[in-house]
Each structure stands twice: as C-alpha cells, then as structure tokens.
C-alpha cells in the first residue's frame, strides 16, 4: 500500500539521469550558460573601451639624406670637350679627387700645344713695354723739373734786368733834369752876355765862349733826354722779355707734360694688356686642369649619363651621377595641412621600411614589431606642390637603430605618435569627425622625466 501521506514525493526518489524520457522532456539549463557568457563578453568589451589608445598620423615617405651635400648629385663638365677615356664604371667606389674621365679640346683657339709658353712671352714683352714707358715718364718728369727750374732762373734774371732798367731811368731822369737846369742857366747867362757884349763890356771872344757853352749845355740836355728815352724803352723791352720767358717756358712745360701724360696713358694701356694676358694665362692653365674630370667627394658611381668615346659634350653637361659614401639618413614625408599643427620638432615617429617585415598595432606602438623610432628634425614653412607640408625625420638616439641596409629612395610608412586616449574616446572622436588631440611635447617630456625619477 502506498504511503501517500509521506512528505517526500516520487520525483525525489526517481533518478532523473537514468530515464531517457525524462531527459527528453525535462527543461534545459543552457540559457543560463549563454547568459553568463554574454555578460562576460560584454564586460570584456566595456573594459576594452577603457584601454589606452595612442592617436597617430600616418604618412608615406622615402629615405633621403639629411644634408644637401650628401644627396645624389650629378658631376658636370666645366668646359666643352670630346670624351677621350673613361677611368670608372657604374658601381665603382671613388674617393675625392679620383679621375672619372679625360676629355680633349674641341675649340680651335686652344689647339696650340705651346699656348701657355706663347702667352707667357707676350706677357714678358708687354711688361718690357710698360718698363720703357715708365722710364720715358721719368725722363719727362726730369725734363719738366729742369724747365721749371730754368724758368724760375730766367724770370729772376729778367726781373733783375727790369729793376736795373727802372733804376737807370731814375738815374737818366736826374741827369736829364740836371742838363735841363744847366741849359736854362746857360741861356740866362747867354742873355746877360749878349747885353754886356752889346754894351762892349766884354770881348767878342768871351761872348763866343759863352755861346759855345750854351751849345754844349743844349747838346748835353738833348743827350740826357735821349738817354732817358732809351732807358724807358729798355723797361718796355724788359717787360716784354719777362712775358716772353713766361710764355715760352709755359709752352715747353705744357708740351713736356703732354708727352708725359701720353706716355702714362700708353703705360696704363700696356699694364691693362699685361693684366689681360695674365688673366688669359691663368684661364688657359686652369682650363688644362679641367680636362680631367674628378670626383667631388667619396661615393659610388651609379649612372653614366654620357657614354661613348669620341662623344662631344658641352659646358655644364651632366656626365655621371654619384651617391656619397657617408650619408646621414632621414625620412622625407608629407603631412596634410590639417595635421600640421599637431606636429612639432622632436616629436616621435615610428617607421615601417620597405623590405623589413613588421607586425603593427596602430594604437599600441609598444606592442608593434618591426617598427623603428625617429624624431621630427625640420618642417617646411611653405607648402609643397603636392598640397602638403614636407618634414624631415631623423633616427632617434635609442637602442633600436635603423637597419644598415637602407638606401636613398627606400619607401617608408611613418606613424607620428600623438596623445594617449581611451579607446572609447578615439571611437567617439572618429564617429564625430574631430581631429586628434594636440600633442604637447613639453608635457610629454616632463612626464617621462618624472617617471624616470620615480624609478
């Protein structure tokens, strides 16, 4: 008989795991497991949203040389000529001053094999001409000095003669005055003797004697006046002679100085020709050195622009391209104008170089593999023709060095690191189309130093 009043039911006594039918109709607990997994995944996603994410700007660039003199350059010919011999081939390493090519002359004015000797002879001849003109100038200087001294002597002599003429005029004037006085006295005496003779107080002999005395006095007066006129004429002659001396010597000195200046002009012209010939000599001498085209610096010959023997080249034509041996590498990359304010000098940039494997997490640079660090060295102040701003990035002085096999022109993918933000903020920023946060280099440096201090 069943014990229906017992507190236990049948289901507690039956083993559910042993009954197949019960397994088919019993309720399942799978939804409980699914719920637990959903909550776990959701919690994981929420936690992931708070993980740090490094904002960055990506740009494509290529390897170049930091210094302009280290970039690939073309060796040009300074003069025109004809290729005579090659001393290198593509791929050769050359040192500064090594001969690359020898060319021969093609201009007829330089064909003379004794060109330098002939020009040197012309220079010596012109220098002798300059010396001759110089001696002539010195002789004319001496002649001018002699004429000036002779002029002074002649003028002094003429002035003394003029003074003598003035003194003689004074003396003759006095004699003329005395003769006139004597004549007047003789005339008065003659009047008195005439009265006395008319009264027979004197003899005829005495009267005739007095008459002779009057005639003598008259003759002396005329002679004295004549001497005075001659003396006055001598003054005029002395003055004329003084002017003549001055005029003659002025003409002679002017002529000598004219010859002197003409000789100086010829001498200066000869000196100019000497200078011109010396310049030509130096040019010819230097031109002969340009027949051998040499390497401007240590480097590798990469490409021969001009080829065959006997080929003619012009002045300034490119001959070969050379890449310097020692290069300070840098990456030349371009950023959009919108991203330019986010870039500063000294800012960190990570690079992926063509040919070097890399595994990159865009927002977690420390977890990436195969990237190499660099820092911004310079940023152009003017936009490039491609509508972007160019900047140069050099290696950072850290343990991880750039690969040794990098060459100029190798491609590089640059990742400029900006601010660290949570992932949810980065998603919100991208969803709204906002630019990345500005990277404060000073704050970053200060935080790094504080971290080192704590350590």
- Residue 42, both tokens: 């959701």
Q: Model's pTM, two decimal places?
A: 0.54
| Inside any domain, residue 4 | no
More confident residue, 251 or 178: 251
Beta-carbon contacts of 315 under 8 Å, excluding residues fewer than 6 positions away, are 77, 78, 79, 80
Classify residue 45: in a domain, yes or no: no
H-helix or E-strand containing 16? none
* In a shared domain, residues 263 and 359: no
Check pLDDT > 80 for residue 277.
Answer: yes
- At residue 446 the predicted structure's pLDDT band, cuts being 50, 70 and 90, is very low
Q: Cα–Cα distance between 453 and 223 in angstroms, integer?
A: 135
> Does some domain include residue 336?
yes
In angstroms, rounded to a whole number, what is the distance separating the alpha carbons of residues 209 and 187?
Answer: 13
Residue 442 has pLDDT above 50, yes or no: no
Distance from C-alpha of 42 to C-alpha of 33, rounded to nearest angstrom: 14
pLDDT of 384 above 60: yes
Cα separation, 131 vs 128, whole angstroms:
5
43, part of any domain: no
143 & 260 share domain = yes
Flag whether pLDDT at 183 surpasses 80.
Answer: no
Mean pLDDT of the chain: 78
Whether residues 174 and 128 share a domain: the answer is yes
61 and 160 fall within a common domain: no
Mark whether 282 and 151 lie in a shared domain.
Answer: yes
Provide the domain limits for residue 134.
115-289
In a domain, 38, yes or no: no
Decide which of 323, 346, 379 is a domain's last residue.
Answer: 323
Are 313 and 371 within one domain?
Answer: no
At residue 240's C-alpha, the angle toward residues 238 and 244, to 5°, is: 115
pLDDT tens for each residue of 290-338? 889 899 889 999 888 877 788 888 888 888 999 888 888 899 989 888 7
Half-sphere exposure of 281 (CA within 13 A, CB side): 15
Say what the pLDDT of residue 453 is.
Answer: 43
Number of domains in the chain: 3
Residue 340 contacts residue 379 (beta carbons within 8 Å): yes
The residues, ordered by sequence, that sit 6+ positions from 235 with a Cβ below 8 Å of its Cβ are 162, 165, 166, 169
**Is 21 domain-assigned?**
no
Nearest-Å Rg of the Cα atoms of the chain is: 62
CATH of the domain at 202: 1.20.1270.60
The CATH number of whichever domain residue 93 belongs to comes to 2.40.50.100
Maximum mean pLDDT: which of 41-50, 96-105, 181-190, 363-372: 96-105
Residue 403 · residue 63 · CB < 8 Å:
no
**334-376, pLDDT tens digit by residue?**
988 877 877 888 888 888 888 777 655 555 556 566 678 888 8
Same structural domain, 171 and 234: yes
């Amino acid at each position: 008989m069943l014990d229906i009043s017992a507190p236990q039911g049948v289901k507690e006594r039956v083993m559910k795991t042993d009954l197949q039918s019960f397994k088919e109709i019993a309720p399942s607990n799978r939804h409980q497991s699914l719920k637990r997994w959903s909550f776990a995944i959701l919690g994981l996603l929420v936690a992931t949203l708070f993980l740090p994410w490094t904002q960055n700007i990506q740009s494509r660039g290529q390897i170049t040389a930091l210094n302009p003199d280290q970039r690939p350059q073309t060796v040009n010919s300074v003069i025109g000529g004809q290729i005579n011999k090659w001393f290198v081939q593509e791929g050769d390493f050359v040192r500064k001053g090594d001969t690359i090519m020898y060319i021969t002359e093609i201009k007829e004015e330089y064909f003379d094999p004794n060109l330098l000797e002939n020009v040197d002879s012309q220079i010596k001849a012109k220098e002798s001409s300059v010396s001759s003109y110089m001696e002539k100038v010195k002789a004319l200087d001496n002649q001018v000095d002699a004429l000036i001294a002779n002029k002074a002597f002649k003028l002094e002599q003429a002035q003394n003669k003029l003074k003598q003429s003035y003194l003689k005029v004074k003396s003759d004037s006095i004699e003329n005055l005395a003769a006139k006085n004597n004549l007047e006295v003789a005339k008065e005496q003659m009047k008195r003797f005439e009265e006395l003779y008319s009264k027979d107080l004197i003899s005829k002999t005495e009267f005739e004697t007095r008459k002779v005395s009057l005639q003598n006095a008259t003759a002396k007066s005329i002679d004295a006046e004549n001497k005075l006129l001659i003396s006055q004429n001598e003054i005029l002659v002395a003055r004329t002679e003084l002017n003549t001396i001055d005029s003659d010597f002025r003409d002679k000195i002017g002529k000598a100085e004219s010859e002197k200046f003409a000789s100086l002009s010829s001498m200066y012209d000869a000196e100019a020709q000497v200078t011109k010939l010396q310049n030509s000599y130096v040019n010819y001498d230097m031109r002969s050195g340009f027949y051998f085209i040499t390497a401007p610096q240590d480097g590798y010959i990469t490409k021969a622009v001009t080829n065959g023997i006997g080929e003619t080249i012009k002045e300034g034509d490119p001959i070969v391209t050379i890449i310097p041996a020692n290069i300070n590498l840098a990456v030349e990359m371009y950023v959009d104008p919108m991203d330019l304010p986010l870039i500063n000098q000294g800012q960190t940039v990570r690079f992926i170089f063509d040919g070097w494997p890399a595994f990159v997490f865009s927002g977690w640079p420390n977890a990436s593999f195969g990237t190499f660090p660099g820092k911004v060295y310079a940023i152009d102040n003017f936009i490039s023709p491609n509508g972007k701003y160019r900047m140069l990035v050099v290696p950072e002085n850290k343990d991880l060095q750039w690969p040794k096999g990098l060459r100029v022109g190798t491609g590089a993918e640059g990742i400029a690191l900006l601010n660290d933000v949570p992932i949810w903020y980065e998603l919100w920023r991208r969803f709204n189309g906002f630019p990345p946060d500005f990277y404060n280099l000073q704050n970053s440096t200060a935080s790094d130093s504080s971290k080192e201090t704590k350590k």
